[in-house]
Amino acid sequence: MGAAFFYHMTTQPVEVTLPMLLGKARGAGWRVAVRGRDTARLDHLDLKLWEGDGFLAHGRAGGAHDADQPILLTDKDALANGASCLVSLDGADIGADEVNGSDRTMILFDGNDGEAVARARVQWKALTDAGCSAQYWSQESGRWEKKAES
């Protein structure tokens, strides 16, 4: 049974945090779906994941080879690449059944955005009330530290 890991980003943006977490997920052998609500944001992240030293093979949903992608960026609920790790960006919905059926679920939110923090709190409550295991991680000290677990 999976768990939901909430990542409260305060010192680094998603463009830094996401590639680090994706690298760890791929290192664990997981196929990953990154679910967002804003296609322009996903397009931006798509470009960022091709840059730099930490190349991460991935694709944008809607192509002919979605099922072959080790990391798939999508704004849809379907996991076209058979992902066992699901990442939620910008408050994208994650259901308790998805958390429990995954190896890992990651919910990334901007700690400098009050609406994002409020949305993450709603997600935490909904998932833990549904019986999902959850952990809350914060980087306010400059490094990632687990602050809570349910």
Q: What is the pLDDT of residues 44-91, one digit of tens each?
A: 999 988 886 667 899 999 989 999 999 999 999 999 999 999 999 999
Q: How far is CA 12 from CA 29, 78, 88, 112, 132, in A?
A: 25, 29, 17, 11, 27
In the predicted model, is pLDDT for residue 126 greater than 80? Answer: yes
Q: What is the pLDDT of residue 145?
A: 94
pLDDT attached to residue 54: 67
Contact criterion met (CB below 8 Å) for 110 and 15: no
Whether residue 21 is predicted with pLDDT greater than 90 in this model: the reply is yes
What pTM value is reported for the model? Answer: 0.94
Rounded percentage of the chain residues whose pLDDT exceeds 70: 97
What's the CATH code, domain 3-149? Answer: 3.40.50.10110
- Range list of β-strands (E), 36-138: 59-60, 71-74, 85-89, 104-110, 133-138
Question: Where along the chain do its domains lie?
Answer: 3-149
Number of helical (H) and strand (E) elements in the chain, helices listed first: 4, 8
Radius of gyration of the chain (CA): 14
| Residue from 26, 100, 5 nearest 69 by CA | 26
The single-letter DSSP state of residue 7 is E
Per the model's pLDDT, the better-predicted residue between 123 and 55 turns out to be: 123
